[in-house]
Structure formats: structure tokens, C-alpha cells
Amino acid sequence: MALGGLGEIGMNLTVLECGEDILLIDCGVLFPDLYWLGLDLVVPDFTWLIENKDKIRGLVITHGHEDHIGAIPFLLKKMKIPIVYCSRFAQRLISEKCEEHGISDRFISFDVKAGDRHDLGCFNVEFIHVTHSTLETFALAIQTPHGLIIHSGDFKFDEKPYQGPPSDKKRFKELGKEKPLLLLSDSTNSERCGHSQSESEIHDELNRLIEEAPAAVIVALFASNIHRVHQLMDIAKRTGRKVFLSGRSMEKYVKIAIEENFLPVNLSLLQPIEEIQKYDRKEVMVLSTGSQGEARSSLLRLSKNESRWLKILEKDVVILSSRNIPGNEKAISSLVNQLYRLGATVHYEDMQNVHVSGHAYQSEQLELIKLTKPRFFIPVHGEYRHLVNHAKTATESEIPEREFVMENGAVWEFDGEEARILGDKIPTGRHWVFRDFDGGLEDISIKERRAAARAGVVVVDCLVSKRAVELSRKPLVALSGFLSPEKKNEEIKEEVSLQAEDAFNQWRVDNPDGFTREQSVAIAARKVVRRHFDVKPLVIVNFLNI
Amino acid sequence: MALGGLGEIGMNLTVLECGEDILLIDCGVLFPDLYWLGLDLVVPDFTWLIENKDKIRGLVITHGHEDHIGAIPFLLKKMKIPIVYCSRFAQRLISEKCEEHGISDRFISFDVKAGDRHDLGCFNVEFIHVTHSTLETFALAIQTPHGLIIHSGDFKFDEKPYQGPPSDKKRFKELGKEKPLLLLSDSTNSERCGHSQSESEIHDELNRLIEEAPAAVIVALFASNIHRVHQLMDIAKRTGRKVFLSGRSMEKYVKIAIEENFLPVNLSLLQPIEEIQKYDRKEVMVLSTGSQGEARSSLLRLSKNESRWLKILEKDVVILSSRNIPGNEKAISSLVNQLYRLGATVHYEDMQNVHVSGHAYQSEQLELIKLTKPRFFIPVHGEYRHLVNHAKTATESEIPEREFVMENGAVWEFDGEEARILGDKIPTGRHWVFRDFDGGLEDISIKERRAAARAGVVVVDCLVSKRAVELSRKPLVALSGFLSPEKKNEEIKEEVSLQAEDAFNQWRVDNPDGFTREQSVAIAARKVVRRHFDVKPLVIVNFLNI
């Protein structure tokens, strides 16, 4: 089953259950298109896990990206997880998160390396090295009483990674000889034909752009992409530049990578951003967060010239070495426009070869199927369109006996002989997180925010006599966020007041729909606005006893 | 000058002024990323035009796309325009708009054809045939007392358009011999290198996909793309399918195209959608609107199986023959997912060759510069990034003496000898439209909607004694759209009430910042919420005299 990641990019959480044992794989966040609603994050609904918490033997993490680890603190707040198996790098990242949330004591972890095996209940999990856009990424080979299950994690077959060896295809091939029961594989790029580019293939282009840059160079990238950071630092050294880090997560990730010996560079290259003014602009390379145009991110501040340390000037070169995450296009475009306005030269994926994806394309997805020869196939990590297209690739390979396209909550069952999707789903959903609180996206408070944004707010104040049965005067109406002119608004207020008064007086406890008196007044008020504009505002009704 | 289109895709409105004469070119809408705010449309701020209305000699329309004609009714509501010069097709579209707005009497127009010339004050405007993704598209050659100005409109150099001749390059070349003063040229695709594909190049792919389709075919496209409609109807005929139209604007555009003889097809191909059930699914081709996943559009309704006439079934083939407009990616993706869920096969630009752009790529943009050999160059129709990259192409051509990258409101002036950008800008901006009303995006009502969406609503009711100086009891507080749990909300309400009471009592008419008593109470309430959550809610303060 999956509580997340099947039918969406992000929020990955896969669940294996066998007898009395449950194994969890990853626990990530979704980056929502809903920041205008003031939400901090979106995480999976953990209801099913809480109901089954006694069976959970542990959580296995494939790698340290936010869409794989970001929801762990929110899960740990709701329940204990016996142990979390993860790489050293992911362990450090999760630790920091748990510290921020004040729940360090709940995070019990075990560092793993490629090749390690661990038992969790009846499951034996082997960690297999794969290449991806961050450090220490694993695929999983999970021995179960009913056969071998392979989970690709997020992967690509990069034959020339900038750091470390290529994916361990040899191991996949060996596992293929064991007749695996099931392959779960990363679908992110299933719509892209051919083979993804290697991390090394952008080296020449990055090197050329930076070498030719006549002034400061600012590169925006995901802080977790330590291979890319490594590559850029090598280029900085070669082109006589010092490296300055900008953005909280950039500092955090690089610090951890250095402490854990993942950045084999001369550390004198790194200089504190506070001292950037001491250097000639031709000696400067800034590595910055904010490639998605995120609010309050380092690059956005730079684009608005709000940084304390660096002003972007004409002739500076800005490189967005990252992909555009769907939903962020407008924000990124506005960032690029702003950088151009400052006179900078901007390079981005649309125009230059300055980024490669960390996810397998069709031919690599096919290769994994051919190597592992699974009996069954389930595409994971993708929107429905990606899952369908990945399944199509699997079908065309003629290797799996059957492909199953399934979404969050669907239950795939193997009874020892046959596989099928159960009729019933387990409860799943998307939960918003705001500060210390969370809830469902269909909550009344979310609906109230949407209604206010779309159609404004109507407040109806009813002054009620002490006996609580009579209005002591006609309701007072206030409008906010209305787009109509004052005169029209006065007319609406008048009408709402009349209708509200009428609804108040007409209301009886035994009204057929069982509305409260407040609800009846609200319905009457909403009707007035609908009649005028065909929209449904947020209506707030207050009964004030005097 | 431009009131729109310089620094954005959409809302095109270019202004030429010479002595006592003003000529307007196009008057379009912007499709905003702000539908969650309940806005209908975004149009240019017409303030400057209203101030200068006596000088306006007319409006010239390059073609009938919404980003070139959509704002005309809103302009006509504010002022009279002596005459609108436009193609017959655009004329029909604008007429219908004006009728809907009840201002037909204000729309005085003159049909033009390629090759026509008209005098508007001291300007003489010639209409030149160019290829684009809709019918009857013109570039303009404008003779002025100070030299020739060429405006490309929206164009591409399609050598094999599906209908009609290629762009009139011969005329551009002739004009080039007249030493044009200035070229204004379409920048939409200035980031794409090479040459755009021809409309004919997708024919084979569309034909193959439709021929191989085992059941119904639904093609979503922009209704204005009559060449594409023509092409699809030809394919329908060849593959033994009838054509059904779905979506109000599809019906409207095709009706006009037929009436004006722009669709040279056998009309028996077209059958009313009400009769679609009478046909075998292999005989069905639906042309639908909604390729952008727009709310309430035909394809969205189909994807939710809410259409009265057609249910999408397994084996049906859906083709999105259109580009993804930036900002719509999420909506389109969710539409594609939904169509896959119904079991349909979906083809879209990411995966198949089922759409070509209507705008020139870099090599065509360069070719227009080489043909017309302008002294000065201003890139138009694009975000800042597109303008900058287009200017770069012009610079590299070494033809114009100078390129000017300018945004809305900037004034480019030619004094007979030299060109320059004036220091002062004319007033411009984006105006929302909602029903019959309009206003600026910085209006208080818009801010109120945003605040409510991001942080919820606080209502503070102060019951004030008749003498209006004393609270008759402590303020009553209501919260709406708050994401915190009930207990926390009670705590906040209590605190807001206390602070509001304090602010009420402390307030004096001569307070240093000059706030009203209501404002002081609102500030105190807002502070409480900020202290708890670091967000600023919408605060509504009511003073109720009792």
C-alpha cells in the first residue's frame, strides 16, 4: 500500500505488511500549490498507521530528500517508530528536523551503508547503491516470506556520476536471478524517452559559463545536491573563485557534507558570505538556495537586492542549475525577469545545458525491469500520468506477468500464488501543516479561507435581547474584500440585513433541515450575495446578547 | 509607449503618439494566475488613455486573439474610440463581446484585408499578411511624419501553413528598402532557438493518432485556431468520423468561421453534439475547448464525466493539441491524470508532436530584422526575459543602430534625429475585472482577500454606549478560517478581546499616527495573532452603538 507518492510527485510513503509485521518505506512531504492559503507543508494522513502502530517494525529511508524524509517529525509526533534505518547523511538531516521540533528523543535511528542488510520483523532489507541527485541513495531488496520485493527508490543509471560509483547494476542482475515477486519503480520521468543525461555531461557547459563570466557568479541549486556543489567548487578552484554560501539550507547541507567527508575539496575555497566584499567580483562564486523562486529564499532576496552581503550588478552571471518543479513556473519566471532587470545574465535549463535530472528516463526504467525480471510490477513516485506511462513501458518489455497502476490507499495483495488489488482502500489523504497544527484539506477552516479569497467576507451582527428570542434591532452588516463599489455595497448590506432579520424571525427549532438559527441567518445572507454576483462569500454570523 | 504587453505575455496595448494624434494597437486581456481571488479578468489601466482621449484617432487590431482584443469592451465602456480597424473575423468576435456587454453602439469598426491602407490622423497604416495560430493576422507598416514604423503583431514564418499563403516576406523586404525607423517585434518565443515548426508538420502525427484510434477521439484546442480545426475536419473526413463541437467558444468560433467562409469543408461533417449517441464510437471526433484545464470548460467536464452528451470510456483517445500556458501546468496535469483514470489514451505536447507554436522562434525573429533592416528595435509581447533575449538576437544581427528593452509605461521618443527613453513613465498597471466592476490589484479589497486566505479572519465587535465613548462590555471576538484548534482559538479570542478593550480605552483623537479608534482596535487585534503565529489576518472591527 502507499499513503503517499502514488498519484502525486512527493509525500512518498510506501507500506509493506506481512502477517503481524509492517515495514514503512520513506515518509516525505508534498510541496503544495497552496501557499496562498498560508499552509506550511502538506504531509500524508497517518490515520491508518496510528491504527496499526503495534505492527510497525521500522521505517526505511531510501535517501534524504524532503519528499522522502520531510514528514518524519510529524509522524513521530503522532506515534513511536521502533527504529529508522537511513544513511548517515539522511540521519543528520532528520536529526536536525527532530531537534527543531523538540522531539529528538523520539528519533531512534541506525546508519546504513550500501550492501547492509537488516531484519525488520519477517522482512529482510538490503540497501543497494543507486545514483540520484543527492548523496547516499538506496534502492531496496526486501526478502519477504512470499518472495523478493525490489523498490527502486529514486534512481537513475548515471554511468559517469561526478562523485562515487555508478548504480549497482550487478546487484540488480543477481537479484533478477532470484525471480523477484515484485518491482516497485520510480516513475517521475516516465514521459521522457531515451536516457537521462549524466551529471558529468553538464560539467563543460557550467565550466565554460563560469570561466567566461566577467563578474560575480551566482549559482542557484538544491542544497541537497552535494554532487553538484562538489562539481561547482571544483570549477571555482579552477577558475580562481572563492565560494560563498547563501541561504540557510545551503549552509546546513554543506556543513553536514563536510563533517561527514562527502565534500573532498580544499576548504579554504569556502569563505564566509560576510567577507564577500573583500573580494574582487571576478573572484566570487555564490551557491544559493531559491532556485524555485520560493518566498524569502536567498536568491529571491538577491533578486530584490535585499541581501545584506551582496548586490547583483550588471555583468554578474546567475545560473539556475535546477529543474522547474511543476507549479513553480510563474515564481521562477518572475525571478528570472527580476534578475534580468538588474542587468545580470541569466542561464537556465530552458536555454542552456545547466541541469540534469536525478530520475531515470524511459530507457533506464526499462533497463531496471530487464535486470530484475520481476513477476509483477507497480510504478511508484509519480502522478497518475507518470504511473500509466511507466506501466506501459513495463508492458512493452513483456517481462512482468502483470502491471498494476494503483493510487494511494489501494491495497495490492499477494496470497502466495496470485496478486490482486483489494476492493477496499485504506484511509489516506493530504494533511496541511501550519506551525504545530495539522488537518485535512477539506477542513471547514480551509473552506472558509477559500471562500473569503474568492468572494469576500460578510459579517452579520445580531443584537439579541436577553431572553434570546428577539432581535433588539435589525442586524448590522459589514462587508470586507468586496469588489463592488461603495454604493452597491450599501445596497447589499441593506438587503442582507433585511433577509437576515427575516431568517432570524422565521427560524424555528424544528426547521426541516435542522439548521441552527445562526446557520439560517448565514444562508439568507449568502443568498443575497449569490443573487447579485453568483459567488458564495464567507459569512460570519455573531449573536450578541445584550 | 505600451500600456500592456511589455513585461508580460498578454494584455497587449501599444500606443503611438505624434503631435496631436494617437494611434492604439491592440487592446487585450491578461489571463491571470489569480483565479483563486475570484477575478474574472485582468485588463490594462486605461488612465492615460482617458486623459488623452481627444487625441485618439483609432484602434488598430492585428488579430482576434483574446490577448489582443479581450479588453476592448472595457475600454469602450470608459471612452469612445472613433474607429476600430480590424479583420472581418476579429470584427465578428469583438461585436459579440460588445453585444454581451450591451455596448454595441459604441463599437464602430471597419473591416480590413491584407494590403489595405488607412489614414488615422498623421499615421498611415498598412496591413500585411502574416501566419499565426488564428485567422487573418496582420503585421503593420505605419508611415509617420518621422519615418516608417513596423509592428510585427504576433507572427511566425510558416512556409507551409495549412490554409492560405505564407507570411508576406516580399512586402517586408520592400519595406526594408525604405529604411524603417523602428521595428517592434513579437518576443514570445525568443528563448527558443531555431525555426518554429510548420502547421503542416503535425498533420501526419495527428492523422496517424486519429486513424489508429479504436474508439472516440476528443481533440482539445484553442477555438480560435481555425486552421487547426480545418486540418482536423479534413482528417475526420478521411478517417470516416463525424465532427462534434463541445464548448461554447468552440461553437462560436466555428460558426463565425463558417459564416465568413473560412472553413472550406463539407458541412455535413459537422453534427450536433446532442446526436452523438447515434454514432458508433469509431465515427466520432469531438473538438473541445478546455485544453488549459480551465474551470467549467468542456474538457474538464468531460474528464469528470459531467457532460450530458458524452462519457469518456476506455480506449477513447484524447489529444491536447495546444501548448501549456505558463501558470496552467498544474491544472492541465490534473486534467491529464483524470483522463488517464477514465482509461483514455492521452496525447500531449510533452510526448507527441501534436501542437506547433504560432510564434516565431529565434531564427524567424532574426529573419524579420534582416528583411526590414530597422534603424531602431524594440522587442514587444513578452515577459522581461523574452524581451532581453529578443534584443540580444537583434544586437547580434548588427543591423539596428540600437535596441531598447522597455516595459509598460516607458516612453520611447524620436525627435526626428535621435531616439531615447524619457525619464518619466506614463501611468500603467493591471486592473482586475469582476462582473461590471474593475480596480487595481493593490486595492484594499484585494489585500483583504489575500489576508483572509493566508491567515484567516478576526471579527471584533465593540458594543459602544450611546455617548459613543465607552464600551458597554468587553469586545466580542469571532475567528474564521483559523487553523489552530478550538482551545487555542478560545485563548486567542480572550487575548484579542482584552487588547482590543485596552486599545479602545487608550485611544485619543490626537494619537501620533492619526489612527481612527477602529484602526487602533484592529492593530491591537492583529498584533495578538502575529505574536502567536507570525501571520497577519484580516481584521474586521465593528462599533455597534446601543
The C-alpha atoms of residue A444 and residue B370 are separated, in whole angstroms, by 61
Q: What mean pLDDT is predicted for residues A368-393?
A: 98
Q: Which three cell numbers stand for residue B157?
A: 514564418
By CB neighbour count within 10 A (0-12 exposed, 13-18 middle, 19+ buried), where does B380 fall? buried
Q: What mean pLDDT is predicted for residues A142-149?
A: 98
Question: What backbone torsions phi and psi does residue B14 show, to the nearest 5 degrees?
Answer: -105, 145
Contacts of A384 (CB under 8 A, 6+ apart): A7, A405, A407, B337, B338, B340, B341
CA-to-CA separations, B470 to B31, B465, B474, B507, B546, in angstroms, rounded? 50, 5, 10, 11, 11
Half-sphere exposure of residue B208, counting CA atoms within 13 Å on the CB side? 9
Q: Which three cell numbers stand for residue A226?
A: 552535494
By CB neighbour count within 10 A (0-12 exposed, 13-18 middle, 19+ buried), where does B315 fall? middle
The C-alpha atoms of residue B313 and residue B341 are separated, in whole angstroms, by 10
pLDDT band (50, 70, 90) for residue B468: low
Minimum-distance CB partner of A340 among B336, B388, B484? B388
String of DSSP letters for A419-455: EEE-SSPPP--EEEEETTEEEETT-HHHHHHHHHHHH
Per-residue pLDDT, A491: 98
The C-alpha atoms of residue A157 and residue A196 are separated, in whole angstroms, by 8
Sign of the Cα pseudo-torsion (A387, A392, A398, A403, in order) = positive
> Is A327 in the B-facing interface, judged by CB distances under 8 Å?
yes
Strands A317-320 and A345-347: parallel
Contacts of B506 (CB under 8 A, 6+ apart): B520
Query: Do the beta carbons of residue A90 and residue A113 sit within 8 Å?
Result: no
Kindly provide the residue ranges of all beta strands, DSSP E only, lying in A101-198, ordered along the sequence: 109-111, 117-120, 123-130, 137-144, 147-151, 182-186
Q: Which three cell numbers stand for residue A245?
A: 554560501
Query: Do the beta carbons of residue A12 and residue A381 sit within 8 Å?
Result: yes
Q: Which three cell numbers stand for residue A218?
A: 551566482
The C-alpha atoms of residue A392 and residue A378 are separated, in whole angstroms, by 11
Q: Which three cell numbers stand for residue A185?
A: 519503480
Please name the helix (run of DSSP H) or strand (run of DSSP E) that holds residue A18, with its range, or none: strand A13-18
The C-alpha atoms of residue A498 and residue B487 are separated, in whole angstroms, by 34
Minimum mean pLDDT range among A417-431, B257-271, B321-335: B321-335
Considering only residues 507 to 546 of chain A, which have any Cβ-Cβ distance to chain B shorter than 8 Å?
Answer: 533, 535, 538, 540, 542, 544, 546
Q: Looking at residue B510, what DSSP letter applies?
A: T
Question: What backbone torsions phi and psi does residue A234 show, to the nearest 5 degrees?
Answer: -60, -40
Query: Do the beta carbons of residue B476 and residue B490 sit within 8 Å?
Result: no
> Is B341 in the A-facing interface, judged by CB distances under 8 Å?
yes
Chain B residue numbers with beta carbons less than 8 Å from the beta carbon of A340 are: 384-385, 388
The C-alpha atoms of residue B493 and residue B489 are separated, in whole angstroms, by 6
The C-alpha atoms of residue B157 and residue B331 are separated, in whole angstroms, by 31
Query: Do the beta carbons of residue B536 and residue B450 sit within 8 Å?
Result: no
The C-alpha atoms of residue A422 and residue A413 are separated, in whole angstroms, by 7
Residue % of chain B over a pLDDT of 90: 91
Q: What mean pLDDT is predicted for residues B296-304?
A: 94
The C-alpha atoms of residue A526 and residue B160 are separated, in whole angstroms, by 55
- Find, among A441, A448, A453, the residue nearest to A33 by Cα: A441
The C-alpha atoms of residue A182 and residue A438 are separated, in whole angstroms, by 35
Chain B residue numbers with beta carbons less than 8 Å from the beta carbon of A36 are: 36, 450, 453-454
Taking 70 as the threshold, does the pLDDT of residue A468 lie above it? no
Per-residue pLDDT, B35: 77
> Is B468 in the A-facing interface, judged by CB distances under 8 Å?
no
What pLDDT, in 10s, does the model give residues A110-145?
A: 999 999 999 999 999 999 999 999 999 999 999 999
Go through chain B and tell me how many residues it has: 546
Angle between helices A203-212 and A226-238 (to 10 degrees): 40
- Order of strands, sheet of B430-434, starting from the edge strand that comes earlier in the sequence: B41-44, B430-434, B437-440
Residue % of chain A over a pLDDT of 70: 100
- Find, among A13, A78, A83, the residue nearest to A51 by Cα: A78
Half-sphere exposure of residue A83, counting CA atoms within 13 Å on the CB side? 11
Contacts of B300 (CB under 8 A, 6+ apart): B290, B293, B294, B335
Which residues, in sequence order, are bridge partners of residue B150?
A: B141, B183
Mean pLDDT of chain A: 95
Per-residue pLDDT, B258: 96
Taking 70 as the threshold, does the pLDDT of residue B543 lie above it? yes
Query: Do the beta carbons of residue B139 and residue B62 sit within 8 Å?
Result: yes
Question: What backbone torsions phi and psi does residue B151 show, to the nearest 5 degrees?
Answer: -120, 120
| Degrees to nearest 5, angle at CA B284 with B232 and B309 | 115
Mean pLDDT of chain B: 95
Helices (H), A153-202: 169-176
Half-sphere exposure of residue B149, counting CA atoms within 13 Å on the CB side? 23
What pLDDT, in 10s, does the model give residues B166-176?
A: 999 999 999 99
Q: Which three cell numbers stand for residue A46?
A: 497517518
What pLDDT, in 10s, does the model give residues A172-226?
A: 999 999 999 999 999 999 999 999 999 999 999 999 999 999 999 999 999 999 9
How many beta-carbon pairs under 8 angstroms link A with B?
182
The answer to whether B341 contacts A439, with C-beta atoms less than 8 Å apart, is no
Task: Report the Cα–Cα distance between both ends of chain B, in Å, rounded.
Answer: 56
The answer to whether A330 contacts B449, with C-beta atoms less than 8 Å apart, is no
Q: Which three cell numbers stand for residue A47?
A: 490515520
The answer to whether A453 contacts B36, with C-beta atoms less than 8 Å apart, is yes
The answer to whether A542 contacts B461, with C-beta atoms less than 8 Å apart, is yes
The C-alpha atoms of residue B385 and residue A336 are separated, in whole angstroms, by 7
Q: What mean pLDDT is predicted for residues B388-399?
A: 98
Number of DSSP helices (H) and strands (E) in chain B, helices first: 15, 26
Q: How far is A255 from chain B (nearest CA, A)?
A: 29
Considering only residues 156 to 215 of chain B, which have any Cβ-Cβ distance to chain A shorter than 8 Å?
Answer: 191
Q: What mean pLDDT is predicted for residues B289-302?
A: 92
pLDDT band (50, 70, 90) for residue A469: confident
Which one of the listed residues B151, B359, B390, B431 is annotated catalytic? Answer: B359
What pLDDT, in 10s, does the model give residues A389-415?
A: 999 999 999 999 999 999 999 999 999
Query: Do the beta carbons of residue A186 and residue A383 sit within 8 Å?
Result: no
The C-alpha atoms of residue B337 and residue B315 are separated, in whole angstroms, by 15
Q: How far is A366 from chain B (nearest CA, A)?
A: 17
Considering only residues 349 to 388 of chain A, which have any Cβ-Cβ distance to chain B shorter than 8 Å?
Answer: 350-351, 383-385, 388
> Is A326 in the B-facing interface, judged by CB distances under 8 Å?
yes
Q: Which three cell numbers stand for residue A341?
A: 532587470
Residue B146 amino acid letter: H
Query: Do the beta carbons of residue A450 and residue A40 sit within 8 Å?
Result: no
Q: What mean pLDDT is predicted for residues B117-128?
A: 98
String of DSSP letters for B422-483: -SSPPP--EEEEETTEEEETT-HHHHHHHHHHHH-EEEEEEEE-TTSSSBSSPPEEEEES--
Query: Do the beta carbons of residue A407 and residue A6 sit within 8 Å?
Result: yes
Residue B187 amino acid letter: S
Query: pTM for the whole thing?
Result: 0.94
The answer to whether B481 contacts A435, with C-beta atoms less than 8 Å apart, is no
The C-alpha atoms of residue B278 and residue B474 are separated, in whole angstroms, by 70
Contacts of B306 (CB under 8 A, 6+ apart): none
Give the mutation candidate from B42, B187, B337, B532 for the A interface (greatest A CB count, under 10 A): B337
Which residues, in sequence order, are bridge partners of residue B285?
A: B217, B243
Q: Looking at residue A201, what DSSP letter applies?
A: G
Q: What mean pLDDT is predicted for residues B217-244?
A: 97
